[in-house]
Structure 1
């Protein structure tokens, strides 16, 4: 395999095998983001696991699983953990058409705006929740 076929954008994606995305499957925003991310071309494969699930607890016994229900959490195949805005940016960075945007949003100049946008999306959560959401949500998802 050539470097071009394993890293078509030439930005180092070949160094990371995959990201595991722990998302709150009970949250409508998280479910929508999951489906949107899954439908995009990926430079780094995204594997989705429901946060707090038996599978997540088995695979990542050292994580605070209650916290993964509040904050999007991404784990690299090498064990690095990204949480909240870092996790959202990691997901964008994994996508073929959004890597450049993730790098720009992660810059010191734009990161504060990206954090505000992510916080605003979390604030919308209450108005988009289904009536049968359940008791596991504490509405602190970011």
Structure 2
């Protein structure tokens, strides 16, 4: 018997790939993108800049302004994960982090995972200005 695991528990079934919409103007997001891309993937991750013409063409029904505020992951079947669900989906896609994603999604640990992700998002938003990331070369210290 084969059991397909769904990262957010919404019955996604077998997932072929994830499209990850990330803010390419944010050094934190670019770093996360490179880190995720460099890991062994059980579910392939495809990265597209949030709010880009490509993202708008591929996903016309999404609120693209919202995808710039929160990490967004779309399955090949069209399910959309946002914020903590998106982060957990990305970890779940990785060979060495799937078990951790499943533990973090458990009822006991999910509140703490959500607080951590919310804190990281708040720190990112607090430091973001209109030109945030436009002149940074990702070597900030």
Q: TM-score of the superposition, structure 2-length normalised?
A: 0.81
| 1:81-96 correspondence runs (5 A) | 81-96=80-95
Q: State whether structure 2 residue 106 is matched by structure 1 residue 107.
A: yes
RMSD (Å), alpha carbons: 2.4
CA distance in 2, matches of 1:75, 1:131: 27
Aligned counterpart, 1:21? 20
User: Which structure shows the bigger proportion of residues in helix conformation?
Assistant: 1
Contact map agreement 2:18 2:73 (CA 8 A) in 1: yes
CA distance in 2, matches of 1:11, 1:43: 15
Aligned residues: 126
Contact map agreement 1:28 1:129 (CA 8 A) in 2: no
Contact map agreement 1:93 1:102 (CA 8 A) in 2: yes
| 1:1-142 correspondence runs (5 A) | 12=4, 15-125=14-124, 132-133=131-132
Q: Structure 2: which 5+ residue stretches go unaligned?
A: 6-12, 135-141
Show structure 1 runs of 4+ deviating over 3 A.
10-14, 126-132
CA distance in 1, matches of 2:47, 2:90: 11
Contact map agreement 2:17 2:45 (CA 8 A) in 1: yes
- Deviation of 1:123 after TM superposition, in Å, equals 2.8
Q: Structure 1: which 5+ residue stretches go unaligned?
A: 1-9, 136-142
